[in-house]
Amino acid sequence: MKQHKSRLSRIFSAREMPIIVFTLLVYGAFSVMAPNFNTFNNVSVIAQQITINGIVALGMTIVIMIGGMDLSVGSLLSLCGVFAGMMDNAGLPVALTVLLTLVIGTALGALNGLLIVKLHIPDIIVTLATMNIFRGVAVMVTRSQWITDFSDAFLHIGSSKGGLFSIPILLYVAVAVVFAVCLRWLPFGRLLYAVGGNREAAVLMGLNVPSVKIRVYAVNGFLLGLAGLLFASMFGSIQAATAATSLQFQTMGSALIGGANIFGGAGSVLGTVFGTILLGMIKNGLVQIHASEYWLDFITGAVILLALLVNLIQLRKKGRC
């Protein structure tokens, strides 16, 4: 009995609780305001819409967790998407296209990490540079043309068939579950918290911090490869210059709303997932209630601020800041 109670109270005092509650409240508010919001159909539309941001936000979470920062996510996604599209256009079997895209994403992600570690340049500067480089390469190889006319097999990856059980949503759920398990139970996952929490202590312990960093950026790159594939396949076309241009800020927003600490050492899969859901819901909801387009950015920003405040209250209560 006592055990049961303590478990319940633990659930309610969890870091993620405020953001979950907040998300539900926003959901309720939109349901009241827009008759079509709270329908099975709309929920699966939202779920479909957030998969790409959701996957990228999880990568962003582990990057932020080790005290890093990746501004190049949108560019790398665009580059991977463009490559995937071009390989499909060239008639490669879809399995090979997928494999190669993931390899490219992983490799370029690792490159980010390598540059940061080997040149001792801060993450934000390296990824600012690669943000332009990746985008530039993508634009160059496509000569700024739309890539389209994909094979059916390729289009199948991102199709919304199956509603809540469509391939993109299943992929997102799978990635989230794997991340949650790794961060909680895998020794490497715990090291990420350690490196972000006190880098000096990690070095003194004998941990290979540079290698941890490179691996985190590689995983992040892998996810961007996956997201690039989904992007091209879902929309049926992709243009290098315009794809996912503000992705870094949206995903950072999701991670931070979800409780990640911009200075490293904290971050949670559940939190980030809800952060993504919240932002996706707002976007969808504002359209549903026919809010003026001019209000969209403002309201999104205000909600982010509100969500961060809610987190802060919980931390204050625990006397942490």
Going by C-beta distance under 8 Å and a sequence separation of 6 or more, which residues neighbour residue 234?
A: 48, 52, 158, 159, 160, 168
**Are residues 137 and 240 in contact, defined by beta-carbon separation less than 8 angstroms?**
no
Residue 226 CB, nearest distance to another protein (Å)?
24
Going by C-beta distance under 8 Å and a sequence separation of 6 or more, which residues neighbour residue 106?
A: 218, 219, 221, 222, 225
Residue 23 and residue 18: Cα distance in Å, rounded?
Answer: 9
Give the nearer residue to another protein in terms of CB position, either 18 or 265: 265
What is the SS3 assignment for 34? Answer: coil
Residue 299 and residue 302: Cα distance in Å, rounded?
Answer: 5
Q: Does 236 bind another protein (CB under 8 A)?
A: no
Site track 9-48 with another protein (rule: CB under 8 A), x = hit: ----------------------------------------
Burial classification of residue 201, based on how many CB atoms lie within 10 Å of its CB (0-12 exposed, 13-18 middle, 19 or more buried): exposed
CA-wise closest residue to 110 among 192, 227, 225, 201: 225
Window 290-319: residues binding another protein (CB under 8 A): 318-319
Residue 54 CB, nearest distance to another protein (Å)?
24
Residue 252 CB, nearest distance to another protein (Å)?
19
What is the SS3 assignment for 239? Answer: strand
**Are residues 288 and 42 in contact, defined by beta-carbon separation less than 8 angstroms?**
yes
Residue 220 CB, nearest distance to another protein (Å)?
21
Applying CB under 8 A, the site for another protein has a residue count of 24
Give the nearer residue to another protein in terms of CB position, either 163 or 210: 210
- Residue matched to tokens 């995983």: 219
Residue 56 CB, nearest distance to another protein (Å)?
24
Give the nearer residue to another protein in terms of CB position, either 261 or 314: 261
Residue 272 CB, nearest distance to another protein (Å)?
17
Give the nearer residue to another protein in terms of CB position, either 143 or 318: 318
Give the nearer residue to another protein in terms of CB position, either 151 or 261: 261
Give the nearer residue to another protein in terms of CB position, either 21 or 201: 201
| Residue from 265, 271, 275, 285 in contact with another protein (CB under 8 A) | 265
Residue 37 and residue 288: Cα distance in Å, rounded?
Answer: 7
Sign of the dihedral defined by the CA atoms of residues 271, 275, 280, 284, in that order: positive
Window 165-224: residues binding another protein (CB under 8 A): 184-187, 190-191, 193-194, 196-198, 200-202, 204-207
| Binding interface with another protein (CB under 8 A) | 184-187, 190-191, 193-194, 196-198, 200-202, 204-207, 261, 265-266, 318-320
